Amino acid sequence: KVKVYRNNTELWTALMRQEIDMADYISREDFQVIQKDPDFKAHAVNWTMYCALLYDLIDPVLVDLDVRRAIAYAISRQEIINNLSEFGGLESTGPFHPESIGYNPDVQALEYNPVKSKMLLMHRGWVLNPSSGILEKEGRQFVINVLIDQSSDLYKKIVLNMRQQLAQLGIRLNVVYYNDESELTPEFLKEHHVQAWLRFFQGLGVDPYEAIDSWYSLTTQFGNIWPYKNTKVDELLLLGKIAQEEASKKAIYQQAHQLIYADQPACFLFYPASLFAVNSNFKNTDAYFSRYQATYTIKNWYIKTK
C-alpha cells in the first residue's frame, strides 16, 4: 500500500508513529536521526549522474589550468552536500561513477584548500583589489558568469554555496538563467558572456563510453556547447569503444579518467544521493535500495519471527 504525504514533516510523523514501514526521499536531517535509531535502517542511494561546473576552455580566464585548479581548491564539495537538506551525496573525482569499470580509484579529489588556491592565483598574477574585494589581473576582474536552469531549486542552492565560497577568495560568481537548452545559442552565450555551466553529466551507463562521451571532442550529445578537446583523451576513448575484453576497456578508461580529472575541464562536484528509511523488522531489503530500485525485490522481504 502506498501513501502520499504533502511534505516531509507529515512523512516523518507517519514514519515515527509506524503508520508506514518505508519512507522514500527523506530529508538529510531525518536521515541522520534514522541512522541512530535501531528501529529503522537508513539507506543512501547515489545517483548515476554527477553535478559539475563545466568551463568554456577558450575563455581568457579559464584557459589557465592553474586557475581551474585554484577554483577546485576553493570549493568545499562536502559543504555543498551538507547544505542540501533533501539529499546526501558522494564527492566526484571525474567522469566515472564509482561502480563503473572506468572509475579509477587512484584519482584523488583536489582537496578543499583555500590557502593553496590563493597561492596558485597569486602566482598567476591575480591580485586582490581591496576596494572592490575582487581579484584583478591586467585590468580584468575575476568574474565567472555561470549558466543555471531557472527551474531547478537544486542548482540554485548549489550555486549559492559556490558563490559564497569563491567570494572569500575574491572571485565573483554571477548567475545567468535560462529556461530551456534551446535558448543556449552562440548569440545568447556571447551576449551574456557565459563562461561556465552548472549541470549534470551521466556517470554510469550500460557501457563506459555512455558516461565519458561528454568528454569526446566530436561528441554528438545534445547540449554540448563547449566540446572538450584533448587529443590523448580522444585516442583513448576510441580505443575503449572498440576494445573487446573488459580488462582492456578498464585500463583504457581508467587512464582517460585520470587525464580528464588532471585537466579540470570542469569542476567536478558530487553525485547526489536519495535518502530512504525502512522499518528494521523487515529483512532482506538491501536489494531494493540500489540505483535500480527494483520493486520486484520487495516480494522477497520478510519479517523475522521469534
Handedness of CA 100, 103, 108, 114 (dihedral sign): negative
Q: Which residue has the higher pLDDT, 250 or 227?
A: 250
Task: Tell me how far the alpha carbon of residue 23 is from its chain's centroid.
Answer: 24
Q: How confident is the model at residue 70 (pLDDT cuts 50, 70, 90)?
A: very high
Q: What is the secondary structure of 231-243 as a DSSP string?
A: HHHHHHHHHHHH-
- Percent of the chain at pLDDT exceeding 70: 99
What pLDDT is recorded for position 5? 85
What pLDDT is recorded for position 266? 97
**pLDDT of 223 higher than 70:** no
**160-207 pLDDT, tens digit each:** 999 999 999 999 999 999 999 999 999 999 999 999 999 999 999 878
Instruction: Report the alpha-carbon distance of residue 29 to residue 86 in Å, rounded.
Output: 8
Instruction: Report the alpha-carbon distance of residue 262 to residue 107 in Å, rounded.
Output: 9
**78-112 pLDDT, tens digit each:** 999 999 988 889 999 999 999 999 999 999 999 99
Q: Which residue has the higher pLDDT, 126 or 84?
A: 126
Q: Do 300 and 288 form a contact (C-beta atoms < 8 A)?
A: no
Domains of the chain: 8-46+274-303 (3.40.190.10), 49-84+92-269 (3.10.105.10)
Question: Among the ranges 23-27, 29-33, 114-118, 213-217, which has the highest mean pLDDT value?
Answer: 114-118
**pLDDT of 237 higher than 80:** yes
Q: Is 293 exposed, middle or buried (CB count within 10 Å of its CB: 0-12, 13-18, 19+)?
A: middle
Q: What is the CA radius of gyration of the chain?
A: 22
Q: How confident is the model at residue 305 (pLDDT cuts 50, 70, 90)?
A: confident
**pLDDT of 210 higher than 90:** no
Closest listed residue to residue 233, CA positions, set 248, 212, 249, 251:
212
Question: Among the ranges 264-268, 273-277, 291-295, which has the highest mean pLDDT value?
Answer: 264-268
**pLDDT of 306 higher than 70:** no
Packed helices 153-167 and 65-74: angle between N→C axes, nearest 10 degrees: 100
CA distances from 31 to 28, 36, 91, 134 (A): 5, 9, 18, 39
